[in-house]
Structure 1
Amino acid sequence: MEQSTAASRPWLLLLCLAVAATGGVLQARAQLDSKGFISVDCGLPGKASYVDGGTKLSYVSDAGFIDDTAGANQNISGQYIRPQLSRRYHDVRSFPDGTRNCYTLRSLVSGRKYLVRAAFLYGDYDGLGRLPVFDLHLGVNYWQTVNVSTPGFEVTAEAIVVVPDDFVQVCLVNTGAGTPFISALELRPLKMKFYPQVNLMQGLVLDVRLNLGPADLTDIVRYPEDPHDRVWIPWADPKEWMEISTTKQVDSEYDDFEVPTAVMQTAVTPLNASMKLEITWDPVPQPHDLSPGYFIIMHFSELQLLPSNALREFDININGVRLSEAIRLVYLGVGVIFNEKPYQDGNYNISIKATANSTLPPILNALELFSIMSMTNFGTDSRDVSAMTTIKTKYHVEKNWMGDPCAPKTMAWEKLMCSYDTGIPPRIRSVNLSSSGLNGDISPSFADLKALQHLDLSNNNLTGTILDTLSQLPLLKILDLSGNQLSGSIPSGILKRIQDGSLNLRYDNNSNLCTNANSCRPAKMKSKLPIYVGAPIVIIVVIVSVALTLFCLLRRKTPGLMKNSVKPQNETRNDGDTSLGLETRRFTYNEIERITNNLQQVLGKGGFGYVYDGFLEDGTQVAVKIRSESSNQGDKEFLAEVQILTRIHHKNLVSLIGFCKDGVHMALVYEFMSEGTLQDHIVGGDRNARCLTWRQRLKIAVESAQGLEYLHKGCNPPLIHRDVKATNILLNTRLEAKIADFGLSKAFNRDNESQVSTNVIVGTRGYMDPEYQTTGRPTTKSDVYSFGVVLLVLVTGKPPTMHNPRSIGIIEWVQRRLSKGNIEGVVDVRMHGDHDINSMWKAADIALKCTAHASARRPNMTDVVLQLQECLKLEEDHAGGNSNNNFYTGISSNDLSMRNDSYPTNQSTNVSQSSTSFEKEHNFGRVPTMDNGPAAR
């Protein structure tokens, strides 16, 4: 059936009214009002503000949200101003210059869900009568194309996203089809339980949000009826549908979408004898997605008190496929059905039809339709963004520095060069501000660009001194400060970098710089040439003379020394082992037996041997690892672990108290870790081990990652562990995590990791880096891979290799399930849904990046630590907000209701109401966008 006139008329009304204004009283600096709202009238002059007549919320001008020099304020033509037109449409800000112009909304909470809405009404503001088409981006990700088809109609773009930072940018991108402009911009915080399809990698773009069945088709429901200021557009079709309503309060206590009562008090039901509600539409290809996919959310409530002999029962089908068991509603209860996985097809028909047993037709109260918004593009590293923003503000840079500095790559800021490594945010590696009219001193923020390799500040008017902090930029190779007005001397740190050849400094044409010749030379360059040449010769002569004298004396007094300078292995010492260069306590084997009460209590067993419980003389409890005769780890591995543990110290590495090398006996004495291994708590089957919450697991992951980061970055020389796994992560009474077992560790050359090679491939099956197994050359990225497996073990509670029935690795197992968009399908069920869904998504994503097959695509441990800390922050915020913990799942054959559990655990359509709910496994998904809206039948 073709779309009816009655259906199209309300849809046109939808296009006209979809963005009735809302907002919050806000100041440009504070950004948020008391409700967390941001409401901006783009084009409102100066610092003006006003209260919207409908919502009673305040709008402010966009000054403070965008660069002062960006765009121009314009008023729409008077012929398009009508009484019912919201005031925020009376003016616009247009952007004739630059490819990208961006608004920045600040003071947000990183990792929270927000609704972002932009509104546009052309109104012939420029007098040209040219309707523009341009793109809209949210941060560095494409949002949608704005196509203004009628001068007097409002166009609205709305997205629901998880914001990764404490700000979000809305950018208008000129695609060459007209000048971008904007009328209003709004942001509303949402509860984390809303719209579970939204996560850090995926947002939703609203196509339509309908309130079905209201008597007044001009009555838009939004704030304050909807405290989250979603806009519910009225829709009804008198030729096809009958409207029913109630004035009684609908019980929305367990409605995880919190649909306003005013919306749920009205519904539609079919007029004809077929007792069927139908909604049809054809998808509209999008410029960036020719086959768009959709999510649909349908809201139900029984508004009529049915007699005992009446029954309302119905099925829901999409394109002829039944989505669920028959649905029954509870009087004045609230139910919802939605798809977790997007659905794609060439056209769509949703049919809600009464069952054979039903005496009444089906009903539908409200409908929301969304398409997917990919959020997979990485923005520039937040530290670099902060530094460049400060630099831009300090020097009033007039270049078109708008939006993200590096992304998308085609819109990177002028005069910047960035590095783009797969799986991690871009970093700024070159800044060229030569001849840019810079005034004042050198900004300390340049020293915050830790990936910077080339900094050119030449031919400006910079004054003051050169900052020594620039010498701490580890990758900086070229620093050009020539042609300025700098004064003073070259700092010692930079002189040292010049001397060792790691930095090339250009500082000519600074008349007040280095006026004292010696102040710009390394220390050794201050001496005259004779001293340069003579001093080393004198030193060498003295050293040789002393060495020859000692040699002769030693040879005369102890002739046997030259023949045998190695002490017998069975020699026992109680002090530090100076022959091994060790500075830790050395125990005799008799002392080991006394400490362990003759090896009475075994704590565990590893490849090296058994671990025993022990107590020192002062009562300190320790763990004693004694090498067994069957161990394949010999003196080499033992001495490697002792030497490593005596020189590394970090709160997340197990501390070595002492060692024993007494003849054939070898033992290591560690600090005692009362809670055993991570393996015991996750997949070890220890019934006495406590079940770790997701928050505890994340904390363990962060602490373990910090320990590995220290090995890679804080040790000199750096270390590769080579056997990172759940059994080598130990927990103390406070469940603090520490990395253990360094017998297989290797030092590496930080400048050339490929130089590390081994004769034997070592590690543990399931945790080993496949690239290392192929090449035989471990790198720090080998540890990153193993840690990624540990992280997947924490998420899933599964071992690294499973047999069900065939052998499958945990990485493949997780990838298969996440490819269907189902995070709950991989989460350890023992956590009982007690976690933030976005934190879980982010952790799984980090783990999969760590376990990329090619090591070049894996992040380093510093990036892993930062990302996991963000995960932990999300989880802590989730735990602190009790109102966000009511999620739902469950199965029932007939009645709908609701359980306060967790997000649905399969790829299913979910229905919930005030006392039961059901799930039916089906990939019910995407529902497309259309210019004239879905047709009712």
Structure 2
Amino acid sequence: MYTLLDKSVIPRLVMNQTTSTCNRLTWIEAEKTWRAYSTVPRDMCDHYGLCGANGNCLIVCQCLKGFKPKSQERWNLMDWSLGCERKKPLSCQEKHKDGFIKLSGMKLPETTHSWVNKSINLKECRAKCLNNCSCMAYTSADIREGTGCAIWYGDLIDIRQFPASGQDIHVRMPASELVLVGVVSSGMLLLGCYYYLHRRKTELKEIRERDRNYEGEPEGELELPVFDLTTLASATDNFSSDNKLGEGGFGPVYKGTLADGQEIAVKRLSTSSGQGSSEFMNEVILIAKLQHRNLVKLLGCCVQGEEKMLIYEYMPNGGLDSFIFDKTRVEQVLDWPTRFNIICGIARGLLYLHQDSRLRIIHRDLKASNVLLDNEMNPKISDFGLARTLVGGDQAGGNTKKVVGTYGYMSPEYAVDGLFSVKSDVFSFGILMLEIISGRKNKAFYNKNSQNLIGHASQAWHL
């Protein structure tokens, strides 16, 4: 991934030059050298010029403030190559009618059409930009001291956002747009806050009413922390592929580190996921109410625009599947006492869901990858997107027309007829226990008698 630390050497390199021409050429050559160290993209935003002219990449492409897509139709299809154009033209010669908006946390645009001068301050830099109709943006040439001047002409190319460590850049705007941006930003912020809080309360209420399959639900709203998208983007290095822990039916999961040093796991709803908003809200509501040492702890959620994310405690040893299905790791790490402890921990978590919690919950997708291990190899059940609650303590089960889960772990009555109960989870637990003991996958196991893992275990038991 491009790093601002590397980028920051560019302004420093030009400080030793004596003419503006040499300054600009050195700026360009330094950037080329920097790019040579960054040839392998580590996330989507690393692709050069992904968002076209005047586009900004933060997870996905968006136009800079005061700009709009040149082709809305292609933009809607996630083809951003045409970039963005101004909503309103600049006043140009009537310089008093133009101004600037400051964008913070940015990777600066490419410097092919730029000019650098180390000897003038930022105020002089602003004036110089206003006096040139082609000047589109300016910033400090030396970000350490806030001195010097760097100016861009024409379209701004290859911009992306680094919320935690980016630089400030001042983009030229017509006065009318500046007023509009200020008014709209303030109004939208207030309206957005109200709308978001109202919408979140409404959604939670609707889901709770729709899925009220139990008695005695406590009154009051869920007290679940809400994380800001910018905070999560910063914590995960803008959802870098290097921080990706895995991916399931819900979407990818990323490791993150908050500003206070706390490590987290961020599960991000994929737009192409077979699961959707109902599963997301289902997991929020269910796991927020559950507290047990063998269940993964939910720390909060994020619902911002199209983004929906769940934030969990980070489990350093990852999924159980990465151990039991790896011959080397299973032999070196999972001795029999450890395996026994894992099996007992899963059983305790399952017993809590079925019997000891204030809700009776059927997980419906208990499998090796949905059991995570902490730094002491203690197991914690995760992923409650498909879970269902039962009415009161007497209902044994239910049925559904939509069978969801993972084949190989499903009980026959659930897979064929959609009938689920606590016994369904117990069946899945039995498969998981056999996999832990044998180190083999149920679906991938066949012996010379064409038996799966269950048949093989049954035969071995009777022997």
Matched AA of 1:795: I
Does residue 767 of structure 1 match 2:434? no
Does residue 592 of structure 1 match 2:235? no
Which residue of 662, 678, 700 corresponds with 2:320?
678
8 Å contact from structure 2 (residues 397, 421) kept in 1: no
Structure 1 residues 568 and 576: CA distance shift in structure 2, 3 A: closer
1:818 — aligned with what?
461
Calculate the TM-score normalised by the size of structure 2: 0.51
Matched AA of 1:609: G
| Alpha-carbon shift at residue 789 of structure 1 (Å) | 0.6
Matched AA of 2:356: G
Q: CA offsets, 1:395-423, max 9 Å, x none?
A: xxxxxxxxxxxxxxxxxxxxxxxxxxxxx
Matched residues in 2 for 1:668 and 1:570: separation?
A: 22
8 Å contact from structure 1 (residues 577, 586) kept in 2: no
Helix, strand or coil at the partner of 2:444: strand
8 Å contact from structure 1 (residues 681, 689) kept in 2: no
8 Å contact from structure 2 (residues 349, 381) kept in 1: yes
Structure 1 residues 817 and 628: CA distance shift in structure 2, 3 A: same
Does residue 809 of structure 1 match 2:449? no
Does residue 629 of structure 1 match 2:271? yes
2:437 — aligned with what?
795
Q: CA offsets, 1:754-783, max 9 Å, x none?
A: 562223111211110112223312101110
| Alpha-carbon shift at residue 628 of structure 1 (Å) | 1.3
Which residue of 287, 297, 322 corresponds with 1:645?
287
| Alpha-carbon shift at residue 717 of structure 1 (Å) | 2.6
Helix, strand or coil at the partner of 1:802: coil
Does residue 742 of structure 1 match 2:384? yes
Helix, strand or coil at the partner of 1:599: coil
| Alpha-carbon shift at residue 703 of structure 1 (Å) | 0.7
2:374 — aligned with what?
732
8 Å contact from structure 2 (residues 227, 301) kept in 1: yes
Structure ranking higher in helix proportion: 2
| Alpha-carbon shift at residue 668 of structure 1 (Å) | 0.7
Calculate the TM-score normalised by the size of structure 1: 0.26
| Alpha-carbon shift at residue 589 of structure 1 (Å) | 2.0
Matched residues in 2 for 1:649 and 1:576: separation?
A: 26
1:393-404 correspondence to structure 2 within 5 Å: none
Matched residues in 2 for 1:663 and 1:675: separation?
A: 32
1:582 — aligned with what?
222
Which residue of 331, 347, 357 corresponds with 1:705?
347
1:92 — aligned with what?
none
Matched AA of 2:438: T
Matched residues in 2 for 1:802 and 1:778: separation?
A: 24
| Alpha-carbon shift at residue 690 of structure 1 (Å) | 5.0
2:208 — aligned with what?
none
Matched residues in 2 for 1:722 and 1:743: separation?
A: 9
Matched AA of 1:778: F
1:613 — aligned with what?
255
Matched AA of 2:455: E
Matched residues in 2 for 1:772 and 1:644: separation?
A: 22
Matched residues in 2 for 1:688 and 1:819: separation?
A: 26
8 Å contact from structure 2 (residues 372, 380) kept in 1: yes
Helix, strand or coil at the partner of 2:256: strand
| Alpha-carbon shift at residue 810 of structure 1 (Å) | 1.2
| Alpha-carbon shift at residue 805 of structure 1 (Å) | 6.9
Matched AA of 1:644: L
Runs of at least 5 residues in structure 1 that lack an aligned partner in the other structure: 1-566, 821-937
2:357 — aligned with what?
715
Matched residues in 1 for 2:361 and 2:442: separation?
A: 24
Matched residues in 1 for 2:233 and 2:437: separation?
A: 40
Runs of at least 5 residues in structure 2 that lack an aligned partner in the other structure: 1-190, 205-220
Helix, strand or coil at the partner of 1:778: strand
Matched residues in 2 for 1:590 and 1:624: separation?
A: 13
Matched residues in 2 for 1:685 and 1:592: separation?
A: 35
Task: State the structure with bigger RCO (CA 8 A, min sep 6), 1 or 2.
Answer: 1
Structure 1 residues 630 and 753: CA distance shift in structure 2, 3 A: same
| Alpha-carbon shift at residue 570 of structure 1 (Å) | 11
| Alpha-carbon shift at residue 588 of structure 1 (Å) | 2.5
Structure 1 residues 716 and 679: CA distance shift in structure 2, 3 A: same
| Alpha-carbon shift at residue 752 of structure 1 (Å) | 4.7
8 Å contact from structure 2 (residues 397, 420) kept in 1: no
8 Å contact from structure 1 (residues 682, 793) kept in 2: yes
2:184 — aligned with what?
none
Structure 1 residues 818 and 726: CA distance shift in structure 2, 3 A: same
1:230-249 correspondence to structure 2 within 5 Å: none
Matched residues in 2 for 1:719 and 1:709: separation?
A: 10
Matched residues in 2 for 1:739 and 1:760: separation?
A: 23
Structure 1 residues 777 and 752: CA distance shift in structure 2, 3 A: farther
Does residue 778 of structure 1 match 2:410? no
Matched residues in 1 for 2:328 and 2:369: separation?
A: 13
Structure 1 residues 808 and 570: CA distance shift in structure 2, 3 A: farther
| Alpha-carbon shift at residue 803 of structure 1 (Å) | 4.7
Structure 1 residues 688 and 798: CA distance shift in structure 2, 3 A: closer
Q: Name whichever of 720-729 and 758-767 sits farther off.
A: 758-767
| Alpha-carbon shift at residue 688 of structure 1 (Å) | 9.9
Matched residues in 2 for 1:686 and 1:666: separation?
A: 37
1:564 — aligned with what?
none
Helix, strand or coil at the partner of 1:657: strand
Paired positions, count: 253
Matched residues in 1 for 2:368 and 2:402: separation?
A: 22
Matched AA of 2:286: I
8 Å contact from structure 2 (residues 366, 425) kept in 1: yes
